[in-house]
Chain A
Amino acid sequence: MATVTQPQTAEQLAAVCKIIRRHIITMIGAAKSGHPGGSLSAVEILVSLYFGGHLRHDAKNPQWKDRDRFILSKGHACPVLYSVMAEAGYCPVDKLNTFRQMGSIYQGHPDRRFLPAVEASTGSLGEGISIALGMGLASRLDKSPSRSYVMVGDGEIQEGQIWEAAMFGAFHKLDNVCAIVDYNKIQLDGWVKDIMEVAPLAEKWRAFGWHVIELDGHDLTQVEAAFSEAAATKGKPTVLIANTIKGKGVSFMENNPRWHGVAPNADEVAAALKELA
């Protein structure tokens, strides 16, 4: 069996989070477009998955059949995915600043044609959980230990397909699938509660038959524990409702809908990087 990334200490993981946040700011600043807010809110979750030992993966063998899969259904947050994959060894760190340029492997939304190690081409919201569940079915048929993880945005779950998938996952008892809602409470047009309220989230998912874990999505200890609990949960899929802060780590971006899909200018990049030093 291929080697998997070994867990690191909490301090090391926190340090990786800071590096990832710096990449996110730098690459979106270089591209002059992109989505910083929802990338920054997802950092701890992705770092925990890729570096905390939960996602069984091997950058040297990206096509390893029994690997775990991670799908970023909220594809606009791809700067966090690209940064984490680059630091994990899937793709070059020094090319992150080609983000959104012609021919770059770091396309505006995850694109398997340019970066085959991305498990699904996403960007059209609402589709990732379904794909992860299909992967879960295949994995179970093959008696493979492969698990599928999928992150959705809180605005994204306004899409009807999410709830079609929620029904499907519970009905087919896909306990090898774990969804994560990046519950940062902000979407493009403003606060989720003002655009189309999705609360109460835990009750909704529980009613659809999922095992629900609510947590602070920036607390690495809670994130670690949640992934362990998800892996140990049998007979139903698990959803992590990760309470997060949009723009987390950059004071002027935090909890401000303006930073959903706007790139920082040079001064703002410098200010953000200073905070993340």
Chain B
Amino acid sequence: MATTAKFELKMGAATRAAFGKALVELGHENPNVVVCDADLSKSTNTAGFAKEFPDRFFSCGIAEANMVAIGAGLASHGKVAFVSSFSCFVMNKGFEQLRVTSAYAQVPLKVVGTHSGISIGEDGPSQMSIEDIALACSLPGFTVIDPADEFAMKSLVKSAAALSGSVFIRAGRANARIIYDAGQTFEIGKSIELIPGQDVTVIAHGLLVAEAIRASETLAAEGIGVRVIDMHTIKPLDEEAIARAARETGAIVVAEEHLVDGGLGVRVAQVVTRTKPCLMEYVGINETYAESGPPEAVLDKYGLIARDVIAACRKAVGRKRG
């Protein structure tokens, strides 16, 4: 859906909070929904579900590997099983179990990793998840989703629960700027074009969608038309929208709060090289771990704000024009 409406980008709730609310609604809608958490329910926001449905909430203690396989057991017995922790813990410590007990075994699990990216801030790199997209995308059959705001999260969590396969949903700790209104519809695997443009396309997910919008608005004043696409579903990819962007704008910038290696950028490049090769630039974390600090300062230092998207767009357009 293309829109020319100006984005206010008012600060909204964190996507983890929206996840927690969606989970409670799901609990009311479907008695088969169960939730496992590894001693972080107050942070992941599964605590709301635990309070409302204590019989369907299972405390696993600080044992993510066990939690993932417990979830697989629940799912193979017919439950819609959510397992949730900080993204770095459930994906890294639970990865082997995600691979064998869910992906390989074709047991549908709903995995929600909160506190993703580096915007967790003060807690520092041991708690930051900058490789979760790469890991989740390497699991055959997994759907991988990173919602940009609370409305996207609420809708996509519901869709994920209804999906027959396994899903990884990425959520953030920091408050997220509001992109959508409550009436927006989301379809897994279908990206959303937020701003039209013909000179360069920014494809972003999660927190970087708002930064891409800001970049587009700044560059519009300079006469550079930046198309902005929210690629909320990283797998399966909306290949049609990517190929169209490559064809129509001739340059693509991928912006994400993740390592450049193994992130959305690499996946977009695969589509571009197979369909319509074009120039690409990447805004992401380059071969490093971040550090403690206020989220805004960390995002600034590690190059994940509108300024960095703007620079990448200028570079891409410059390269395109030769």
Contacts and interface: CB of A to CB of B under 8 A. Distances in A.
B32 to A, nearest CB: 9
B97 A130 contact: yes
A41 interface: no
Contact of B66 (A69, A136, A142, A164): A164
B69 A137 contact: no
Contact of B74 (A112, A135, A146, A167): A135
A139 interface: yes
Contacts of B68: 130
A135 B79 CA distance: 9
B77 interface: yes
A172 B78 contact: no
Interface residues of A, number: 34
B63 A137 contact: no
Contacts of B219: none
Interface in A141-167: 141-142, 146, 148, 160-161, 164-165, 167
A66 B149 CA distance: 42
A132 to B, nearest CB: 6
Given A65-B78, A138-B74, A138-B77, A164 B106 contact: no
Contacts of A120: 72, 76, 101, 105
A216 to B, nearest CB: 30
A131 B101 contact: yes
B226 interface: no
A120 B63 CA distance: 21
Interface stretch (B52-60, B249-257, B258-266, B284-292): B52-60
Contacts of A135: 73-74, 76-77
A265 interface: no
B188 to A, nearest CB: 23
A130 B76 contact: no
Contact of B76 (A119, A124, A168, A171): A119
B272 interface: no
Contact of A167 (B61, B65, B73): B61
Interface in A180-219: none
Given A121-B101, A131-B70, A167-B61, 14 more contacts: A126-B65, A127-B97, A131-B69, A131-B72, A134-B69, A134-B70, A134-B71, A134-B77, A139-B77, A146-B77, A160-B65, A164-B66, A167-B63, A168-B66
Interface of A: 65, 69, 112-113, 119-124, 126-127, 130-139, 141-142, 146, 148, 160-161, 164-165, 167-168, 171-172
